[in-house]
Every structure is written in structure tokens, then in C-alpha cells.
Amino acid sequence: MGKFKRFVDNNTLKELFLHRHKFMWSNERETPTLTKIDCASVSVDWELDPPDCLLQALSTEYSDHCPLHLTLQEAMHTKRRFRFEKFWVKMDGFLDVVKEAWICDPAITDPFMRLDIMLRNTARALATWGQKEIGNIKLQIAIANIVIMRFDCAQENRMLTEEERWLRRTLKQLLLGLASLERTIARQRSRITWLKEGDANTQLFHLVANGRRMKNYIPSLTIEGRIITDQKGKEEAFYNAYKELLRKDVAREFTLDLEGLGVAHADLSEQDRVFTEDEFGQLSRTFPRTRHQGRMGSLACSSRELGRL
């Protein structure tokens, strides 16, 4: 056991996420004892190498033990969702793309439907624009590295021309920008809020993002005894479930007569009015910020106290 522990520590092995089961063994009694005695441990390099891996526990069959089944090329056909990249706002043409896409058919009067259509149009336009302006960052980095390596090999046997030196120098500068952009994207995917902005451990960000994707993947659904594994069937099952849960808005048969209850009418027209500087200053003096509060201070107070102001 000591040798095995040292082997795990020296190779920095980590446990793969297990789908479908939490426990591997049962004593098969009326009040069973469930334990997890098996796992699959891999290195960081191995986890980054396979495109899609899926670890699942199979049926116990005639045994009291669940065997593990690991697939290395599981087809995770997930629909690519829109991701807003924070660096887009710093690029030229961003606002023009948003203005052109923020349109809707005037015949549609429902405000929620109009907002949904405009958001979808903007998402598609930004995704297309971002792909044209930036492209595949990993592919560009790989191509630039190959060309630079060719120049490195060539200068060992001959002098590089002025054009070749210019191209090699330009590619090196391009790699710096692409690497910074790749770290920005990985940092946005990671959702690790406790890491500082200057952290450049791109591999850690990719590991966290890949691990979250594996945990969030749903390999199958069971609806009324029927097992659904294809992506389209799972999407329809989720849609029907939420549609049945939310249902449609219908008119109420009964309502409350507030006038009959004697509830006094309150004028709420000033609730949306913006605070003036004088009111804000008076409010800040009435409720000073404490040592643990932010720069603007805490403005939490009751409606009665706000009414007096």
C-alpha cells in the first residue's frame, strides 16, 4: 500500500468522474451497506489527450460488485451553445455587429418574444463575426509553431533571407497575442473566482473546464421506462418536461376584490424615480457605511425610513 500511494503521488494521478453510480459494492442485505471501492485514476497528460472519455458503472448481474466501463471516444454530441467572449468588446466593429443584429419583425408585438428574437439574432451574428475575425486559435498557434520550427531548422544550414526573418519575427509576435487570447478564453471558461487575473496557468484552466464538461454530460435519460441516449431525443424529453411543468398562462376564474377588503391605494409612481445627489447624500449620512462594507456603503433600510426621507 505504501508503494502504491507513492506511485499515485509521484505521478500526480487524479480520479476520473464516474457517471450513473455512486457506490461499487453492496453486501446484498435488507439494509445494505454500500461502498465505493473502485475508481479509475489517470494522469493530467492522459486526461488532456483523449478527445472524449466516459467512465460508467455497469450492472452487478449475478455479483455484488459493479464493473467499471471506460470508453475513450464517446460521442458527446452536445449542441454548441453561444458564449460571449469578454475580449469582443475591445475589438473594432463589435458595436456595429450588435446594432445590425438587434432587429425584430415589427409584426411581433409580444415584448418577451421580441427580446428573445433579438437576443438570438445578436448571438448568431456575434458568433459568425467572432469566427471570421479570430478563427480557430489552437489551429493558428499550431500552424505558427510549425512554420517557426521550419525556419529554426533552416537557419542551422543557411542564412535566412530578410523576408524569412520578417515572417519569423511576425509569427513570434502573433504567438504572444494568441497565447494571451487563449489564456483569456480559458480563464473565462474556468469560473475559478479565487484565482488572480494575472495567473497564467492555462493548463489548470483547461482541466477545470474539461472536468466540468464531463460532469455536466448526461449520457442517458429514463422516461416512463424508456431509455433515451441520442442527443435529439434527450433535448425533446427536457423540452416536454419543462413545457408540462410550466404549462400555459390561462385566465383565472376568481380574483381578489381589493376595494372590498378595504386595502388603501398606494401611489407607487415615484418608485422608479432616480435618486438625486442631495437625497443620496442625506441617505449616506443617515446610514453610514461600516468597516466591512464597500466603497459606496450599505444603503439597506426600511421602506418607512425611506418614506421619511
Residues 196 and 164 in one domain: yes
Is 151 domain-assigned?
A: yes
The residues pairing with 226 across neighbouring beta strands, listed in sequence order, are 223
Distance CA(254)–CA(124), nearest Å, equals: 44
* pLDDT reported for residue 132: 82
Domain of 297, in residue numbers: 267-308
Q: For residue range 227-285, what is the model confidence (pLDDT) as tens digits?
A: 887 778 888 888 888 888 877 777 778 887 777 787 777 888 777 777 788 887 777 67
* pLDDT higher than threshold 60 for residue 105: yes
Are residues 251 and 278 in contact, defined by beta-carbon separation less than 8 angstroms?
Answer: no
* pLDDT reported for residue 37: 79
- Between these two residues, 210 and 135, which has the higher pLDDT value? 135
* pLDDT reported for residue 277: 81
Is 195 domain-assigned?
A: yes
* pLDDT reported for residue 304: 43
Residues 304 and 195 in one domain: no
Task: Report yes or no on whether pTM surpasses 0.75.
Answer: no
* pLDDT reported for residue 190: 61
Lowest mean pLDDT among 44-48, 76-80, 194-198: 194-198
Say how many domains are in the chain: 3
CA angle centred on 230, ends 225 and 233, rounded to 5°: 65
Residues 109 and 211 in one domain: yes
C-alpha pair distances (Å), 137 with each of 87, 143, 160, 176, 208: 14, 10, 27, 12, 19
Contacts with 137 (C-beta within 8 Å, 6 or more apart), sequence order: 178, 181, 182, 185
> Nearest 5°: phi and psi at 19?
-90, 155
Distance CA(186)–CA(180), nearest Å, equals: 10
Residues 132 and 35 in one domain: no
The residues pairing with 57 across neighbouring beta strands, listed in sequence order, are 68
Residues 61 and 99 in one domain: no
* pLDDT reported for residue 305: 45
Residues 288 and 184 in one domain: no
Residues 103 and 188 in one domain: yes
Mean pLDDT (whole number) for 297-305: 43
Contacts 24+ apart (CB under 8 A), 226-231: 231/77, 231/78, 231/79
Are residues 209 and 186 in contact, defined by beta-carbon separation less than 8 angstroms?
Answer: yes
* pLDDT higher than threshold 60 for residue 46: yes
* pLDDT reported for residue 198: 47
* pLDDT reported for residue 74: 61
Are residues 98 and 121 in contact, defined by beta-carbon separation less than 8 angstroms?
Answer: no
* pLDDT higher than threshold 50 for residue 307: no
* pLDDT higher than threshold 50 for residue 59: yes
Are residues 208 and 190 in contact, defined by beta-carbon separation less than 8 angstroms?
Answer: yes
Is 248 domain-assigned?
A: no
Lowest mean pLDDT among 65-69, 218-222, 299-303: 299-303
* pLDDT reported for residue 194: 46
Is 190 domain-assigned?
A: yes
* pLDDT higher than threshold 60 for residue 294: no
Q: Which of 26, 43, 71 is the last residue before a domain boundary?
A: 71
Residues 93 and 136 in one domain: yes
Is 104 domain-assigned?
A: yes
Distance CA(68)–CA(9), nearest Å, equals: 23
Are residues 230 and 214 in contact, defined by beta-carbon separation less than 8 angstroms?
Answer: no
* pLDDT reported for residue 295: 40
Q: Which of 71, 95, 115 is the last residue before a domain boundary?
A: 71
Residues 208 and 171 in one domain: yes
Is 161 domain-assigned?
A: yes
Q: Which of 46, 71, 96 is the last residue before a domain boundary?
A: 71
* pLDDT reported for residue 296: 42
Is 239 domain-assigned?
A: no
Distance CA(54)–CA(136), nearest Å, equals: 26
Residues 64 and 138 in one domain: no
pLDDT band at 76 (very low <50, low <70, confident <90, very high): low
Q: For residue range 187-223, what is the model confidence (pLDDT) as tens digits?
A: 666 655 545 444 555 566 666 666 666 677 777 788 8
The burial class, CB within 10 Å (0-12 / 13-18 / 19+), for 18 is buried
Residues 123 and 11 in one domain: no
Residues 294 and 202 in one domain: no
Is 232 domain-assigned?
A: no
Cα dihedral 291, 296, 302, 308 in deg (nearest 10)? 120
pLDDT band at 149 (very low <50, low <70, confident <90, very high): confident
* pLDDT higher than threshold 70 for residue 292: no
Kindly state the percentage of the chain with pLDDT values over 70. Answer: 78
Q: Cell 515572417 sits at which residue?
A: 167
- All cell numbers assigned to 190: 474556468
Contacts with 111 (C-beta within 8 Å, 6 or more apart), sequence order: none
* pLDDT reported for residue 173: 87
